[in-house]
Chains A and B, each alone.
Chain A
């Protein structure tokens, strides 16, 4: 995550208000990048297609699937950190439990 590293390591320059604005904006971009699992899911579908088409063997599939799962878990962790919804995990009907 090159962008994030740059931001974290860059020296503190300029007036405070300017930095604040930049950080807000960058934070938004970084957050979107960290919490978007669409490209990962697309990779997973591509991988499945490759297996179906016989372009890769089972061992290759398993290896790359593990890597994709690792990336998915990473996104999930970021989403949790930002308090965003995640696919999977325990759910209940919204507001349903108390109104029984």
Chain B
């Protein structure tokens, strides 16, 4: 802290305001997106370098907690920009100390940004989380699987005398059948969405009811067919699975530029 103030005093007054960066777009002049930024509606505008632009708003130099409010503000800006532009989203909470630092980012990463923007041209992302209702899936398995049904009937009939072993065996059979069912559903759903998407990525599932947490990269022109396909699949599995379908998003899961950033003190 002391070293920093000393250094700043020696050269020029330290800028009191930083720049929060939301995303990178291709645009060769400045542009305003309204007062929709993080931190109670800051003005959102561009910092430009040649045909690239960083979408930013002014911010104090702080670390933003990923609260729902902050994350939604970040996402809302990207959604707004996305209506007109192909964009490379920045990680939540990325703050630069000055406009010049943002320009340095655009300059030094120019080629990588350009390549990715070309690749992502007119692509959007959809999120698909699928949860199952354990009881319903177990019921379905019991209907379809003779061995499990027989064993279960037997245990219920001879409740008093049924052995610990028989119960263990039933439990194991049900577990295996459930895993098999989960794989079957997931494979089928991926298969059905293959023709209407460019790529997909499976993320770690959240909680114990989720069987799929995936992101799909979709061509803008295929937005409607993709949408219809998802609706059809959710109808097909209506009795067993719950679908959480979100988007369109910027391609959060399909852009992976390793920026060489360091902490600015």
With a CB–CB cut-off of 8 A, which chain A residues contact B109?
93
Query: How far in angstroms is the closest Cβ of chain A from B7?
Result: 12
Cβ of A45 and Cβ of B244 under 8 Å apart?
no
A87 and B95 CA atoms in complex are apart in Å by: 10
Using a CB–CB cutoff of 8 Å, the interface residues on chain A facing chain B are 42, 44-46, 48-49, 52-53, 61, 65, 69, 72-73, 76, 85-97, 100
For the complex, is B159 an interface residue (Cβ under 8 Å from A)?
A: no
B223 CB, nearest partner CB in chain A, Å: 22
Point out the residues of chain B lying under 8 angstroms from A92, CB to CB. 96-97, 101, 104-105, 261-262, 264
Q: How close is A41's CB to chain B, nearest CB, in angstroms? A: 8
Establish whether residues B206 and A94, one from each chain, have CB atoms under 8 Å apart when the complex forms: no
B264: min CB distance to chain A, Å? 4
CA distance A76 to B67 in the complex (A): 15
- Could you tell me which B residues sit within 8 Å of A by CB distance? 18, 61-68, 91-97, 100-101, 104-105, 108-109, 129, 131, 206-207, 210, 242, 244, 259-265
Within 8 Å CB of A49, what residues of B? Answer: 129, 206-207, 210
Most chain B CB inside 10 Å of its own CB: which residue of A44, A86, A88: A88
Q: Known interface pairs A90-B96, A91-B95. Does A61 touch B68 (Cβ–Cβ under 8 Å)?
A: yes
**CB nearest neighbor in A for B131:** A53
Say yes or no: A89 contacts B67, CB within 8 Å.
no
Closest 5 CB pairs of A and B: A88-B93, A94-B260, A91-B261, A90-B264, A92-B264
Contact indicator A91/B206 (Cβ below 8 Å): no
B67's partner among A52, A69, A88 (CB-CB below 8 A) is A69
Chain B minimum-CB-distance residue to A72:
B65
Neighbouring B residues of A42 by C-beta, 8 Å? 206
Cβ of A4 to closest chain B Cβ, rounded Å? 24
Q: With CB as the reference atom, state the residue of chain B lying closest to A90.
A: B264
